[in-house]
Every structure is written in structure tokens, then in C-alpha cells.
Amino acid sequence: MIALHRREPRLHRVLFEEAPLPPSLRRRLAQREEDLASRVADLLAGHPDLEVPDAGLAGYLLVRTVEGLVHGFILHPPERIDVDEFAEEVVRLLHRYLRRLPG
């Protein structure tokens, strides 16, 4: 996700923050996110080490969290955080979320 957003950060900023998106493109993006969230939910539901009470909700939250964090990081990069440090911390955040779900 980070590599995708980093390819053309200026173009990405214009497309997602300044230019209006046609409704058909918004629908396609929403459908892709929904499909990805569903795939993540399937992976969570089948994972032997996790007890996810609602895999659909967890999948949605994971996809939206990663998208939001990466989008913000690439478009408005903090000065003192490098991309590897950022990626590691996002993974740590999501890992902690998944490990704490049952309780």
C-alpha cells in the first residue's frame, strides 16, 4: 500500500484531495475496498491463532485503517519519520489490535 501511494505522491494528492472524482470512479474504489476487506475477513476467520468475534468488522477496520494511515503519511509526510519506521509501527499497531480482539 505504501509503495502504491508513493509512486506519484503529487498526482495522488491532486486526484484525491483537489480534483473531484466521478461517481463511477468513487463506486469502483469503494467496491475494491469492500472486496479487500472481505478477503481480509476471510483470512482472519480462518486464522488458527486468532479469535476474531466479527471478522467482517475487523477486516473493514484493518483495510480502512491502513488506507487512512498510508494516505495521510504519503500526502502529508511527517518530517522526522521515515517510511520504514512508519510501516513497522503500523504493523505493530494492527498486530496489537488483532491480538487483543477477544478480550
The band of 72, judged by pLDDT with boundaries at 50, 70 and 90, is confident
Alpha helices by DSSP H, 1-103: 2-6, 9-13, 23-45, 55-75, 83-100
Number of independent structural domains in the chain: 1
Long-range contacts of 22-27 (CB under 8 A, 24+ apart): none
Question: Which residue range(s) make up the domain with 44?
Answer: 2-100
Decide: 71 and 97 in contact? Cβ < 8 Å: no
Query: What pLDDT is stored for residue 21 in this prediction?
Result: 74
For residue range 5-64, what is the model confidence (pLDDT) as tens digits?
A: 667 767 666 666 666 778 898 899 889 999 999 999 999 999 988 888 899 999 999 999
Query: Does position 94 have pLDDT exceeding 90, yes or no?
Result: yes
State the Cα–Cα distance between residues 53 and 29, nearest whole angstrom.
27
